[in-house]
């Protein structure tokens, strides 16, 4: 089944994206501002809306959080209480998974083979395409990470640096017109201190959950990988 898209930008700046099946019926409809500063996504089955997914500040959120954020956007749709809140269900499932991983992490013994594989992967990623010191690179306003805008990209790097990362690399940087650059991958050099490593890997785990992935355990690796889109 072929999937067709239609984009519409309103004078307010809101973007509406509709995805159609080849028979012309709507499959998905999204209303958003910016890079998911706020958004609501509807899923349809045979022309009937079956659930809603909510976003705020580039993250999936529950209905209650969306409604609070919506107060600042006059033309964002009201959430429908009668529909399934997919985001809230997903967040509860992710919270259960994080709790389980925390339990596993406390019991886990470092695996040198896993550490070697992770370091080899990160080293290959840094050599594969263009990589830059993210702390310096992100100072330029036209340089961004994943779906984040410049200010959010800069805050992310500063937050990771403050946690104690030895080095942060923006990897496989794509270059566009007008000096725009974007990196969807980061490699972080980890410190030796166990407590600091734990804080960094926990933060990376939260970032991983945003893209439906899981963070790595501490196997004594030198590098950690972060997928941003």
- Better pLDDT: 11 or 58: 11
Euclidean distance between CA atoms 158 and 50, whole angstroms = 40
Radius of gyration of the chain (CA): 20
Give the residue among 40, 97, 109 at the shortest CA–CA distance from 73: 40
Lowest mean pLDDT among 23-27, 37-41, 170-174, 212-216: 212-216
HSE at residue 196, side-chain half, CA atoms within 13 A, is 13
| Percent of the chain predicted with pLDDT > 90 | 57
Res. 141 pLDDT band, cuts 50 70 90: very high
- Confirm if 69 and 77 have CB atoms less than 8 A apart: no
| pTM of the entire predicted model | 0.61
Residue 212 is predicted with a pLDDT of 63
State the number of CA atoms in the 13 A half-sphere of 5 facing the CB.
6
Scan for tokens 């566009």, then name that residue.
Answer: 176
Model pLDDT, residue 89: 81
Tokens representing 170? 């923006």
Mean pLDDT of all residues in the chain?
88
What are the CA-CA distances from residue 59 to residues 38, 127, 208, 209, 211 (Å)?
Answer: 9, 30, 12, 10, 10
Q: What percent of the chain has pLDDT over 70?
A: 95
Q: Which two tokens stand for residue 81?
A: 């209480």
- Determine contact, residues 99/205, Cβ cutoff 8 Å: no
Coil, helix or strand for 34? coil
pLDDT digits (tens, 9 = 90+) for 71-81: 999 999 999 98
Backbone angles phi, psi at 2, to 5 degrees: -75, 140
Instruction: Return the number of other C-beta atoms located less than 10 Å from residue 101's C-beta.
Output: 17
With cut-offs at 50, 70 and 90, classify the pLDDT of residue 1. Answer: very low
pLDDT band at 5 (very low <50, low <70, confident <90, very high): confident
DSSP 118: H
The whole-number pLDDT of residue 211 equals: 66
Cα 229 from Cα 211, distance rounded (Å): 7
Tell me how many degrees the CA angle 93-99-103 measures, rounded to the nearest 5.
145
The residue among 125 and 87 whose pLDDT is bigger is 125
User: Is pLDDT above 70 for 2?
Assistant: no
Fill in the DSSP letter of residue 177.
Answer: G
């Amino acid at each position: 089944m072929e999937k067709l898209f239609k984009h519409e930008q309103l004078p307010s700046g809101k973007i509406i994206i509709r995805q159609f099946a080849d028979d012309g019926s709507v499959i998905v409809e999204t209303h958003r501002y910016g890079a998911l500063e706020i958004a609501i996504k509807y899923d349809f089955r045979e022309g009937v809306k079956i659930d809603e997914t909510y976003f705020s500040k580039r993250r999936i959120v529950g209905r209650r959080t969306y409604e609070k954020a919506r107060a600042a956007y006059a033309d964002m749709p009201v959430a429908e209480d009668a529909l399934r809140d997919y985001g809230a269900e997903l967040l509860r499932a992710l919270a259960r998974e994080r709790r389980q991983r925390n339990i596993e992490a406390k019991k886990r013994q470092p695996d040198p083979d896993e550490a070697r594989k992770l370091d080899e992967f990160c080293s290959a990623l840094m050599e594969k395409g263009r990589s830059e010191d993210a702390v310096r690179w992100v100072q330029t306003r036209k340089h961004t990470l994943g779906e984040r805008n410049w200010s959010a990209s800069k805050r992310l790097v500063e937050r990771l640096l403050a946690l104690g990362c030895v080095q942060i690399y923006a990897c496989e940087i794509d270059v566009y017109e007008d000096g725009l650059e974007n990196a969807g991958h980061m490699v972080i050099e980890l410190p030796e201190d166990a407590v600091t490593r734990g804080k960094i890997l926990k933060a990376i785990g939260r970032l991983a959950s945003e893209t439906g992935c899981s963070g790595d355990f501490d196997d004594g690796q030198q590098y950690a990988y972060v997928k941003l889109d």
